[in-house]
Structure 1
Amino acid sequence: MTDFAETALRLSGLAARALGWTPPVFWAATPAELAACIGQEAADAAPPDRAEIAAMIERDRHG
């Protein structure tokens, strides 16, 4: 699985430069909305499962 923070940073920068989105607009958008705005089809990747979500929560719990 690609590091979420790394991907979010890359995509938020793209959204800011290409679309003029502010951080609140970026975080309020769904992945499908972002993909549509940048001209890409939504990814076919499966969403994280419960174990992956639990691991992310535990890893990021303390900042």
Structure 2
Amino acid sequence: MRPQPFPWGRAMAFGLGVLRLSPHDFWSMTPLELACAAEGFYGRATIAPSRDALVELMRTFPDGEQK
């Protein structure tokens, strides 16, 4: 899987449009600071799969001998 480029358009839309930051304040932030602001606004994103999803993945793709 290729790394995706940073979504600057979305970040700018959020920082300048939603948070109404000045351009100076927006460009003074680090991506981590902007991510924390987004988390505070939208809530924490669920990154890890649920236990049920993990069990299903383990059932579908069991560990075992490689051919």
Instruction: Report the TM-score range of the alignment, normalised by the length of the smaller protein.
Output: 0.3 to 0.5
Which one scores higher on RCO, CA 8 angstroms, separation ≥ 6? 2
Q: TM-score, normalised by structure 1?
A: 0.48
Asked which structure has the greater CA Rg, the reply is 2
Q: Which has the higher helix share?
A: 1
Q: TM-score, normalised by structure 2?
A: 0.46
